[in-house]
A and B are shown apart, each in its own frame.
Chain A
Amino acid sequence: MSDYKSILSASCPMPKLDFEIITMGHGSGGLLTHKLLDAGVFDVLSNEYLDKQHDGAVFDVTPGKMAFTTDSYVVSPIFFPGGNIGELAINGTVNDLCMCGAKAAFISLSFIIEEGLRVSDFWEILLHIKQAADHAGVKIVTGDTKVVERGKGDKIFINTSGVGKVHPEAAISVDRIKTGDKVIISNDIARHGIAIMSVREGLEFESDIESDTCHFNHIVEQLLEGFGNGIHFLRDATRGGLSTILNEVSQSLSKGIAIHQKDITVDESVAGACELLGLDPLYVANEGVFVAFVEASIADQVVQKLKSWENGLHAAVIGEVADQHPGQVVLHSQIGGRRVVNMLVGEQLPRIC
């Protein structure tokens, strides 16, 4: 597992502490808590809001709409090819705000640590949190740390909440989607889920597949600048993958969605791993891919814009909204067949044959 960390801590060594693992005492609020927070969290994440070390953050707002979101991160293993739980916790919450048409600005950060976590692992996570926040241009302004007994958690859980200002031109809402709208995907799919799977106990296989985790804070702002209310709806294709969010949309709209297999890119090694594991990439989780429903007339330009982004190389129009087959997503297969792409029932489980 250590292969996937050590990049950051090499350049930013951990402060010398007189403990190697986190114990119940570190969540007690007493001296140990202060040692951990002062030498770790506050130093690394320092900014004018957090430095006040108050119970909450106080900041100015300008007139207009704000978006507010929260999410919890429980990924296992906590370090995986291409990322870790800390990076995910920042990017995920930033992206949820982006999907509301907002630019993420302030984030809260809460740890629930299982007793026994190595301080060096915590340090590594913290550095990645800092790096991800800097990349996205957001500030971590408040937070909390609790420690639970061994067996009551799974190394570390992170909750982040975030606020951001909604772009004045944004009008993103599922009820703005109409027949004829184009469905755009921002990149190739299924990398995150397969990266995680490749390091799960019992399923390990060698691959160079990395998680696609990234933030959308700048690209979504650019899309809204350029296309305003021509962007009808945005959604990140995280848990349950592409098919799940398309199903959610088509069911809530009572319209059909047709998608074309040939336009959806799946990296060759990811496709190979999916074959091997008996998984359908349409249902595999992503952490750096979103779907946009846009006015048909601007679809090609939106794709061009996405392609200019470092995480949008495989952006494409993959389908359209139709009056036919309401509430259903129909996939036109590469060989000319059609099938309904259903909502996932429970967790996607690998098949025998």
Chain B
Amino acid sequence: MKYLSEYRNPELVKKYLDEIHQSCTKPWMIMEVCGGQTHSIVKNGLLQLLPKEITMVHGPGCPVCVTPMHLIDKAVYLALKEKVILCSFGDMLRVPGSTDSLLEAKSKGADVRILYSPLEAVKLAKDNPDKQVVFFAVGFETTAPANALSVLHAHREGLENYSILASHVLVPPAIDAVMNDDLVKIQGFLAAGHVCTIMGIGEYGPLVEKYQVPIVVTGFEPVDILHGILMVVKQLEKSEHKLENQYARVVRPEGNPEARKVIEEVFEITDREWRGVGNIPLSGYQVKEQYAAFDANKKFSIKMPKVEENPECIAGQVLKGIKKPHECPQFGKGCTPERPLGAPMVSSEGACAAYYHFSKISGQLTEA
């Protein structure tokens, strides 16, 4: 596959690994922000290939992991209502709410559909005029344009039976929140490439200056990730902090203005609760008042009781890199992918699941 296989090329991987090994003289702690990067790191077994001085911290960039429990409860509640079709991306289905996951709701008779595009949900609404179609609009800036577009399409077609349950989160405020915590010791970031495809890289300059950390916008294939790590390490070794773009073949500095226009038309920035992390000011999108008819939150005026997270789950500390998953007393015991206490154990992009899968290799029980 062109544009993929060259970024999985074993020789290039080796070249970057050799360079990282040569450049790295001190211990460094680097966070990859995006869950897609975590997934690639795990899938390709990159962790054991890096010098032991480098610690990778899996960041909060897994939208599935940070969607607050009460929103999942709300989705489950809506799904179980008569005449509602609840549509969602696939990996949202298994995330536990306070009582059920969407998958469990499905087995209780809820009409839950897995879709790849919110525009499919609009089509579903058109084809089922007697049903309410709700799309669980989860994700970072990357999925926001398509979700916003679905609202515009539904608006244009005059559909009264389509709405989105928006749980959109934004990357830069999350990096800010992570760095604001005194316990955090992260020294450099791989920023999420696809988010920047939409938003551009401008928002990251101020963070580089504020916290004096290198940020490298990075892609998702093994060659991309190792290249990104090398760029961060080189800066760190020279005590530099710059914003760099490793993923320039996809990310333009200004991002995608057309997509941003669609986002700005439908969404406005709001405070948002991140599961495991807490409330982060101005870190999410909500549907603007003018499109309130397409906002499931307003359309179905439901107040879900706020449920406390399981106190034994240390997801927040894990997502900030303060603790490693295996330092949690419940890791692999009370909390496994089959019976997760918190979201990072559910998604394959979640830090805990990543460690769980890894640390099972015999003899490597404590370190991924």
A352 and B139 within 8 A (CB): yes
A342 and B90 within 8 A (CB): no
CB contacts (< 8 Å) of B114 on chain A: these are 202-203, 349-350
State the CA gap A104–B307 with chains docked (Å).
57
CB contacts (< 8 Å) of A202 on chain B: these are 87, 113-116, 120, 124
State the CA gap A152–B24 with chains docked (Å).
64
Q: Known contacts A328-B360, A328-B362, A346-B103; decide if A338 and B48 are in contact (CB<8 Å).
A: yes
CB contacts (< 8 Å) of A324 on chain B: these are 362
Q: Looking at B4, B9, B43, which has the most chain A CB atoms within 10 Å of its CB?
A: B43
How close is A242's CB to chain B, nearest CB, in angstroms?
Answer: 15
Q: Known contacts A268-B1, A346-B103; decide if A339 and B358 are in contact (CB<8 Å).
A: yes
Q: Known contacts A202-B124, A352-B64; decide if A333 and B91 are in contact (CB<8 Å).
A: no
CB contact between A335 and one of B4, B44, B103, B357 (< 8 Å): that residue:
B44
The answer, yes or no, to whether B138 is at the interface (CB within 8 Å) is yes
How close is A344's CB to chain B, nearest CB, in angstroms?
Answer: 10
The answer, yes or no, to whether A63 is at the interface (CB within 8 Å) is no
CB contacts (< 8 Å) of B43 on chain A: these are 280, 333, 339
State the CA gap A275–B190 with chains docked (Å).
22
The answer, yes or no, to whether A56 is at the interface (CB within 8 Å) is no
B94 and A337 within 8 A (CB): no
CB contacts (< 8 Å) of B338 on chain A: these are 345
Smallest CB-CB separation from A347: which chain B residue?
A: B103
Size band of the B side of the interface?
A: 35 or more
CB contacts (< 8 Å) of B183 on chain A: these are none
Question: For chain A residues 290-343, which have a beta carbon within 8 Å of chain B?
Answer: 324-326, 328, 330-340, 342
State the CA gap A326–B363 with chains docked (Å).
11
B361 and A350 within 8 A (CB): no
State the CA gap A277–B92 with chains docked (Å).
14
Smallest CB-CB separation from A341: which chain B residue?
A: B357
Smallest CB-CB separation from A349: which chain B residue?
A: B90
State the CA gap A349–B140 with chains docked (Å).
19
Question: For chain B residues 88-144, which have a beta carbon within 8 Å of chain A?
Answer: 89-94, 103, 113-116, 120, 124, 138-140, 142-143
CB contact between A275 and one of B4, B35, B45 (< 8 Å): that residue:
B4
State the CA gap A203–B120 with chains docked (Å).
9
Main secondary structure of the interface of B (DSSP, over half): mixed
Count of A residues near B, CB < 8 Å? 34
CB contacts (< 8 Å) of A16 on chain B: these are none
Smallest CB-CB separation from B17: which chain A residue?
A: A336
CB contacts (< 8 Å) of B14 on chain A: these are 335-336
Smallest CB-CB separation from A353: which chain B residue?
A: B36
The answer, yes or no, to whether A272 is at the interface (CB within 8 Å) is yes
Q: Known contacts A338-B48, A339-B42; decide if A352 and B10 are in contact (CB<8 Å).
A: no
B91 and A351 within 8 A (CB): yes
Main secondary structure of the interface of A (DSSP, over half): loop
Smallest CB-CB separation from B347: which chain A residue?
A: A351
The answer, yes or no, to whether B60 is at the interface (CB within 8 Å) is no
A349 and B93 within 8 A (CB): yes
The answer, yes or no, to whether B39 is at the interface (CB within 8 Å) is yes
B35 and A333 within 8 A (CB): no
CB contact between B90 and one of A330, A334, A351 (< 8 Å): that residue:
A351
Smallest CB-CB separation from A344: which chain B residue?
A: B337
The answer, yes or no, to whether A271 is at the interface (CB within 8 Å) is yes
A338 and B45 within 8 A (CB): yes
A277 and B116 within 8 A (CB): yes
Q: Known contacts A338-B48, A352-B63; decide if A345 and B139 are in contact (CB<8 Å).
A: no
The answer, yes or no, to whether A278 is at the interface (CB within 8 Å) is yes
State the CA gap A271–B46 with chains docked (Å).
21
The answer, yes or no, to whether B293 is at the interface (CB within 8 Å) is no
Question: 1/0 per position for B260-297, CB-CB distance to A under 8 A?
Answer: 00000000000000000000000000000000000000
The answer, yes or no, to whether B34 is at the interface (CB within 8 Å) is yes
The answer, yes or no, to whether B245 is at the interface (CB within 8 Å) is no
CB contacts (< 8 Å) of B361 on chain A: these are 325, 328, 330, 338-340
How close is B176's CB to chain A, nearest CB, in angstroms?
Answer: 21
The answer, yes or no, to whether B31 is at the interface (CB within 8 Å) is no
State the CA gap A324–B360 with chains docked (Å).
12
Q: Looking at B114, B115, B142, which has the most chain A CB atoms within 10 Å of its CB?
A: B114
How close is B94's CB to chain A, nearest CB, in angstroms?
Answer: 6
Question: 1/0 per position for B139-173, CB-CB distance to A under 8 A?
Answer: 11011000000000000000000000000000000
Q: Known contacts A325-B361, A340-B360, A340-B361; decide if A350 and B89 are in contact (CB<8 Å).
A: yes
CB contact between B49 and one of A278, A325, A337 (< 8 Å): that residue:
A337
Question: For chain B residues 328-351, which have a beta carbon within 8 Å of chain A?
Answer: 337-338, 347-349
The answer, yes or no, to whether B194 is at the interface (CB within 8 Å) is yes
Closest 5 interchain pairs by CB?
Answer: A337-B45, A350-B90, A349-B90, A335-B13, A339-B45
Besides A202-B87, A338-B45, A353-B143, 6 more A-B contacts (Cβ < 8 Å) are: A280-B43, A326-B362, A328-B362, A339-B45, A350-B116, A352-B138
Q: Which residues of B are interface residues toward A (Cβ below 8 A)? A: 1, 4, 8-10, 13-14, 34-36, 39, 42-49, 63-64, 87, 89-94, 103, 113-116, 120, 124, 138-140, 142-143, 194, 222, 337-338, 347-349, 357-358, 360-363
Q: Which residues of A are interface residues toward B (Cβ below 8 A)? A: 201-203, 256, 268, 271-272, 275, 277-278, 280, 324-326, 328, 330-340, 342, 345-346, 349-353
11 interchain pairs, CB-CB under 8 A: A202-B115, A203-B116, A334-B8, A335-B44, A336-B13, A337-B47, A346-B94, A350-B114, A351-B91, A352-B64, A353-B36
